Amino acid sequence: MGGNSMEFQDQLNEYIQLVDRELERLLPDEDILQKSVVDAMRYSVTAGGKRIRPVLTLEVCRMLGGDPHKALPFACAVELIHSYSLIHDDLPCMDDDAMRRGKPSCHIAFGESTALLAGDALLTLAFETASHAPQTHGTGCEETLRAISILSRLAGVHGMIGGQVIDLESEGRGIEYPVLHQMHLLKTGALIKAACQMGAAAAGAQEEDLDKIGEYADALGLAFQICDDILDVVGDEAQLGKPVGSDKQQQKTSFITLFGLEESRSNAQMMTTLAKESLASFEHNGFLLALTDLLLNRNK
């Protein structure tokens, strides 16, 4: 199944629509006193994310013989956590970014305190959504707890948040490759890994398959981050929806500052090959192989 085939595109669009509809259902819509924060939550969640993580959750579940609908609450949970992390990352005390996906950042649009609370609320909603999976989607109780355990571990201080801390502390001073590697493995990779492994959990996968999927996700996460670093140098501002050159401006170490553009490109290619090789033992891997190629060749 090639990345441009009709079949692949149809399946991808179906997944994205499934996630978008469910996210819309999850966001509270009553006219409550705390409406401002609900508006900020919706603004960020519906701001045009590519839904890469939830698609990975649904497809890994399907590839391993599970019913993707049983993974839908986890797909939404990982996207809610992704959204919260972007809101908090953009805050003045963090990266201080005024633009996100071509629109004013959440704190520019709603104020700093509302943005802070909207992030907290999305993080909390992620776990609420996952915990309801048995009621809303007939997911098994043990599968659900396993998914929550994966997500909370990989979104926390040993995962995504850990990566943000390393990133913060390395700003303005050069870091060595091992630190950069660890930072990206956590900051970008951990949530991608959570997305994939929760899909496996929903399918009731054995520990061995969970590990294999973890290897795939680690390689994909690194390839994805190298692409991000490349796009920060050569990307198109209008397509990206944010200014390019921000890494250089913030004196951040990136794959580009350490290895240059050409070697970074070949590193990304190598990581993508590694990722695809980790999928070799799975029979129905066509969609995921095509998706992996698509993510490497993206321009935003």
CB closer to a copy of itself, 149 vs 269: 149
Return the residue of 48, 104, 156, 243 that touches a copy of itself, per CB under 8 A: 156
- Give 185's DSSP letter: I
Using CB under 8 A, which residues numbered 108 to 127 contact a copy of itself? 112-114, 116-117, 119-121, 123-125, 127
Return the residue of 5, 17, 46, 149 that touches a copy of itself, per CB under 8 A: 149
- Of 228, 81, 227, 244, the closest CA to residue 152 belongs to 81
Closest approach of Cβ 160 to a copy of itself, in Å?
A: 9
Question: What is the rounded CA–CA span in Å between residue 269 and residue 230?
Answer: 12
Question: What is the rounded CA–CA span in Å between residue 129 and residue 127?
Answer: 5
At residue 104, what are phi and psi to the nearest 5 degrees? -55, 140
Closest approach of Cβ 45 to a copy of itself, in Å?
A: 13
- Which tokens is 177 given? 């490759």
Using CB under 8 A, which residues numbered 178 to 217 contact a copy of itself? 179, 182-183, 186
- Of 280, 126, 297, 298, the closest CA to residue 289 belongs to 280
Closest approach of Cβ 95 to a copy of itself, in Å?
A: 9
Rule CB under 8 A: say whether 164 interacts with a copy of itself. Answer: yes
CB closer to a copy of itself, 26 vs 230: 26
Rule CB under 8 A: say whether 28 interacts with a copy of itself. Answer: yes
Closest approach of Cβ 251 to a copy of itself, in Å?
A: 16
CB-hemisphere CA count at 13 Å for 50?
Answer: 13
Using CB under 8 A, which residues numbered 69 to 98 contact a copy of itself? 84, 88, 91, 93-94
In this structure, the number of other CB atoms found within 10 A of the CB of residue 42 comes to 16
| Three-class DSSP category at 141 | helix
For 251: left if phi > 0, alpha if psi spans -120 to 50, otherwise beta; the answer is left
CB closer to a copy of itself, 9 vs 136: 136
CB closer to a copy of itself, 48 vs 111: 111
Rule CB under 8 A: say whether 105 interacts with a copy of itself. Answer: no
CB-hemisphere CA count at 13 Å for 144?
Answer: 20
Closest approach of Cβ 257 to a copy of itself, in Å?
A: 19
Radius of gyration of the chain from its Cα atoms, rounded to whole angstroms: 18
- Asked if 80 and 51 touch (Cβ cutoff 8 Å), the reply is no
Q: Footprint of a copy of itself on this chain (CB under 8 A)?
A: 28, 32-34, 36-38, 41, 84, 88, 91, 93-94, 112-114, 116-117, 119-121, 123-125, 127-128, 131-132, 134, 141-142, 144-145, 148-149, 152-153, 155-158, 161-166, 168-169, 179, 182-183, 186
